[in-house]
Amino acid sequence: MEKIEKSVDMFPGVTKASQEYESWAVSVKQHAMRETNPSLRKKVEHLISYNNALRCNDALRMVDALGIIQDFYRPIEEREKTGGLDTTEKWLLSLYQDAAVTLDKLSKLEDQYPNPKLKALEQSILSHKEQCKLEEQDFRAVIFVKEKTSTKSLMDWINASPEMKDLNPASATGVQTDGGMTMSQQQDVLTKFRIGVHKVVISTTVLEEGVDIPQCNMVIRYNHVTNDISTVQTRGRARAREGQEVVIGDIDVTQKDTINVLLVDIMEQAVKAIQEMPQDVYLKAINQFQEHAHRKNQIKEANKLALQGQNKADEVQLYCKGCNTFACYASDVKRHRETNFVNANPDFRTKVDFREHRDLQKRELGIQKINCIKCGTEWGNTYIGQPCLKIASFIIETGPGQRKQVKKWKQVPFTVLDV
């Protein structure tokens, strides 16, 4: 990372493996896009990937951190085979390849240098498991994590442990995310959890709200705490008698949880005070609150429409984030069934390299990967045979020197018409 930082003559002044470092890198990336500086943008994207790996290493295993780096460089190595890399990318790839052997050796030293957070997690699980055994209870635990990738890493970690593999862990993630679970898959996991096929479920926030798990007797927040509402919801997951709640993380995580507990107490006092209010005063306050919320939503929706209406879609251009090649006009993209953004323009297909999907299930459904034909950058998948674009793979140009990149289609500064 130091070599990349030195090459751009920029030093963040914040600690690596932190959210602050990522914020700095994202701001530099945005600057690079505004200045049409693809070399700087690519270097910063690599810094973000390394920082993500360091953050993963702080909470999980070294092999999991290495996996993040390998996943980032895998498509770049594939593009190298077809000659799709520019000078900057070749240099960045060489830095990784020079360090790859050392990184692989380090990842195999987990037994000598175990992660203290994972040790604390293991001790908490085994201790409660033993307690349940003594009290003749069935052990059930839900572990909440921040990111979807962490669910798989913790599943692999538990399955690799002789003392814990009998827990047969499963994961539950949201349906909106790329590669997320369907509702039926979520329900299947929960059913098996209730009857004891899975004694541990590792989940993102999808299980916090509206899911009844009476058998759960342990809830663990692993290196992740959100807000006071989430704290109340998490308490509700530990439904069984003598349910236990555990928070494992750095001091900032545990401090935030302490604050949430205090906020929950304040909230409960407020609820009690409201319940004791005279009905006429209560109804008047509710009406005022509803009117305020309605006006707030109206302003939010108006601002959203104003943002999308700032630019005409037929004047907005999308460029490949990998090679800065013009891809299409925004007006070429149409929305199918709310979540699929398809470009059916025949001219666009000439710029696409259709490849076999790595996911067997998607291959069987006839879904292909779509990549930039020039540099190989992944652009998305096919949907009903047409290119379905992932907006994060493109740079949006709304005018000379006006460039930006967004992660989701709902953030684009133009209107996408429905088919």
pLDDT tens for the chain, residues 1 to 419: 889 988 887 777 788 888 888 888 888 888 888 778 889 989 999 999 999 999 899 889 999 999 999 999 998 998 888 888 889 999 999 999 999 999 999 999 988 988 999 999 999 999 999 999 998 889 999 998 888 888 999 999 999 999 999 999 999 887 654 556 788 888 899 899 999 999 999 988 777 665 567 778 898 988 876 654 445 545 544 444 456 888 887 666 666 666 666 766 777 787 787 878 888 888 888 888 888 888 888 887 777 667 666 788 999 999 998 888 999 999 999 999 888 999 999 999 999 999 998 888 888 888 999 999 988 899 999 998 999 999 999 999 998 888 888 989 988 999 899 98
Question: Is 322:377 a contact under the CB 8 Å cutoff?
Answer: yes
Q: Taking the model in full, what pTM does it have? A: 0.68
Token pair 């793979």 in the structure block, residue? 393
Please tell me the distance from the alpha carbon of residue 179 to that of residue 175, in angstroms, as a whole number: 8
Please tell me the distance from the alpha carbon of residue 5 to that of residue 12, in angstroms, as a whole number: 9
Burial 44-67 (b: 16+ CB within 10 A, else e): bbbbbbbbbbbbbbebbbbbbbbb
List C-alpha distances in Å: 319 to 78, 343, 379: 21, 14, 11
Q: Where are the alpha helices (DSSP H) in 196-325?
A: 228-237, 251-275, 279-308
